[in-house]
Amino acid sequence: MKKILCAVLVMVLAFAGASFAHDGYEEKYVREEVARRNIKLIPLEEAQKIAAEKINERGVRFKDADLEDEDDYYFGKVDFRPIWSLEAVSNGQEYDIDIDAATGEILKFKLDD
């Protein structure tokens, strides 16, 4: 039963991830810089799976997902770092989650008040 639930969760996350638009200027810049630097990104679906596991609740729904360069926030404009910036909702609670798009490390996990 647990395997079935995990499989369903992965499928839901995959379909949710496919619905987000990723055509903004910042994402284009990040993707170009990622290619120039030969950085291998984790897919959005993997970032959503990491976030859902951290939330540790059923029924996680992702409202937004963006690929960003958060170097100014995390490194003071020193290094380039691609970030999956996610907004999730579960059981009426909203979460802001930043995940390193290269390593899968959770950089920010914030429950919105």
Check residue 1 and give its pLDDT. 59
Q: What is the CATH number of the domain that holds 20?
A: 3.10.450.40
Per the DSSP assignment, residues forming a β-bridge with 98 are 85, 108
Asked if 39 and 69 touch (Cβ cutoff 8 Å), the reply is: no
Give the domain range for residue 38: 2-111
40-77 pLDDT, tens digit each: 999 999 999 999 999 998 889 999 999 998 765 554 55
How many distinct structural domains can be found in the chain?
1
80-95 pLDDT, tens digit each: 889 999 999 999 999 9
Check residue 57 and give its pLDDT. 82
Check residue 59 and give its pLDDT. 86
Claim: this prediction has a pTM higher than 0.75: no
Collapsed DSSP state (helix, strand, coil) of residue 59: coil
